[in-house]
Structure 1
Amino acid sequence: MAAMTLDTSLSLQINTQHRVLVEEIDGLIRVYKDGHVERPQIVPCVTSSLAPELGVTCRDMIIDKYSNVWARIYVPNAAADKEKLKILVYFHGGGFCVGSAFWSCYHEFLAKLASKINCAIVSVNYRLAPENPLPAAYDDGVKAVVWLRQQEFAGNNEWWANKCNFSCIFLAGDSAGANIAYNVALRIKPLDIKGLILLQPFFGGETRTDSEKHMAQPPRSALTLAAADTYWRLALPAGANRDHPWCNPVVNVVDLRRLAVMVCMSEMDILKDRNLGFCDRLGSGGVKVEKVVCKGVGHAFQILNKSPLAQTRVHELICHIKNFVSR
């Protein structure tokens, strides 16, 4: 069984200038009482350049200069003018508090995904909590989708816009990014979205599930229960608990029967049972949900685990996504 781990060897030293530490996830984020936030560069940040053999063109574009929301856009070079590319709007994970479209792990995964499924991918770099608590990330996601639809008529992004089918947009993301994709879908009616692709969606609740209580996690796991609780404290509005609908969507599921939905979960993830419960709740509301369980791997395996088993599961995951968007 392959264990998915996150290297936290770049843990921050105690910052004596700000003194009172109120929240911490080791190696990822420190929040001080005076509002100061520190995030070590635990994952390398990279430019938009890609190896030519991938056959994908990638560039960064500003969505909103005032809030500094931007996107990294991946377009397969083999796209034919007569058959426009479907578009996948992707939101990265990181508990709403860390992560970036600059991160090398997302850059590599999304470039590969764009090439394999032959879709344009718009990777949104949204604002992070706690400086910008929810619903800031949801607002940024909506803004990205609206911006995207406007590009069809803008006439100034010919390098990619002319290749895209703006009437065929999917929302996707992993972990907190999947949560964002789901909540953006709830907010953008009547804009037409074809489907949702949710990879290990980051949801929670006050009542613990069996996998949250009993799923053994390796040291330096990408998501422990303690880390999940901290992320929610930092991201949710002041005074909210984990039964807030943004955290626990089963308390107030909205009609999504207009959308195709695929939920991919990991067998060794503490979120597995919560993801299954989410699927069941959608299904009881008449939503047709495609469930995919990735065997023997943990949270965020597709971006952080390079083991042979994980790479096999990544290949399988990409095949599932390709089949889903091709229907």
Structure 2
Amino acid sequence: MAERDDDVAHEFPFFRVHKDGRVVVFRPPTEKIPPCDDPITGVRSKDAIVSAEPPVSVRIFLPKITDPSRKLPVLLYIHGGGFCMQSAFSRQYHSYVATVVAEANVIAVSVEYGLFPDRPIPACYEDSWAALQWIASHAGRSGPESWLNNHADFERVFVGGDSAGGNITHTVVGRAGKVGLSGLKIVGAVLMHPFFGGTVDDHMWMYMCPENEGLQDRRMKPAVEDLKRLGCERVLVFAAEKDHLFESGRNYVRELKKSGWGGEAELVENWGSEHCFHIIGNPREGKAEDLLQKLVSFIKRDS
């Protein structure tokens, strides 16, 4: 059926809403690939179910094991996509997380969280929190996933993501600082080109989150008390100069340092670069390689 302009109730950067309630996302559905083993790097991957209802699953990546007695740090990775697109199982994100795993010698758990419109916000936050709780359930070495039971160092856990995933990372780590999470220690958080309030995307986020607190919603605009109790020791934020979210990342670091939080925050500015250039292009070329190595150093520090 042909679409008419007068059928449209709302037009946003990533989707339009018709007056009959239909939501049309501008990008086609993401192609998903199965887990696989890389014969070159030795990185293995497989999928696991965190929760059947609501449906939450993860893709787990294990680097090549050369010393079975050595425990490895864990990275919970939260993909981007404007809260309504992409997947932990897409070729882009599978490839990128596998690259990080090979370089940083880290176990990664990449979460497949619920997307708008099928599951409006706050599903993304709740599902990512459920994935972190699922990781913590292995701390006694008797969880459902053998790779975590046998190889994970639960005193060296990292949470990170890009774009929407960077925003979700803040909320998840903030929740850990507020309510606590027994069984693991979050050492660091990585926010790559994160979304926060103050841009043209604000009203789109509020539409995707029917129950919100307006432009001052703490998930869009972190409150001082939330920043102050962020549940990790170190934060690394990347901000791309040609990204409309450039100031989002810079402001986040400034406000975090002013909040009284006792950790260490670092801002890396990707001059001349676009939003999530490291995901879109080859992660081992040019500026993307620089970003990758900075991320790897952040994870491997003090190891």
TM-score scaled by length of structure 2 = 0.86
- Report what 1:184 is aligned to: 172
Deviation string 1:255-292 (CA, Å, 9 cap, x unpaired) is: 13752111111121111122111111101123421111
Q: Runs of 4+ in structure 1 displaced over 6 angstroms?
A: none
Does 1 or 2 have the higher relative contact order (CA < 8 Å, sep 6+)? 1
- Report what 2:237 is aligned to: 263
Aligned-pair CA distance for 1:130: 3.5
Question: Structure 1 residues 85, 247: closer, same or farther in 2, change over 3 A?
Answer: same
- Report what 1:197 is aligned to: 190
- Report what 1:300 is aligned to: 276
Deviation string 1:70-108 (CA, Å, 9 cap, x unpaired) is: 001111023522221100001111111212112111111
- Report what 1:114 is aligned to: 101
- Report what 2:23 is aligned to: 37
RMSD after superposition:
2.6
2:86 alignment partner, SS class: coil
- Report what 2:208 is aligned to: 235
2:214 alignment partner, SS class: coil
Distance 2:253 2:154 in 1: 28
Deviation string 1:171-225 (CA, Å, 9 cap, x unpaired) is: 10001101111101111232231111110111012xx6xxxxxxxxxxxxxxxx4
Query: Aligned pair 1:103/2:100, yes or no?
Result: no
Question: Structure 1 residues 239, 61: closer, same or farther in 2, change over 3 A?
Answer: closer
Structure 2: 5+ residue runs without aligned partners? Answer: none
1:289 alignment partner, SS class: strand
- Report what 2:60 is aligned to: 73
- Report what 1:313 is aligned to: 287
Distance 2:257 2:19 in 1: 43
Structure 1: 5+ residue runs without aligned partners? Answer: 1-12, 209-224
Contact 2:138 2:148 in 1 (8 A): no
Q: Which amino acid aligns with 1:107?
A: H
Q: Which moved more, 1:114-123 or 1:128-137?
A: 128-137
Aligned-pair CA distance for 1:229: 4.1
Q: How many residues get paired? A: 290
Query: Aligned pair 1:245/2:231, yes or no?
Result: no
2:28 alignment partner, SS class: coil
- Report what 1:222 is aligned to: none
- Report what 1:8 is aligned to: none
2:159 alignment partner, SS class: strand
Question: Structure 1 residues 266, 125: closer, same or farther in 2, change over 3 A?
Answer: same
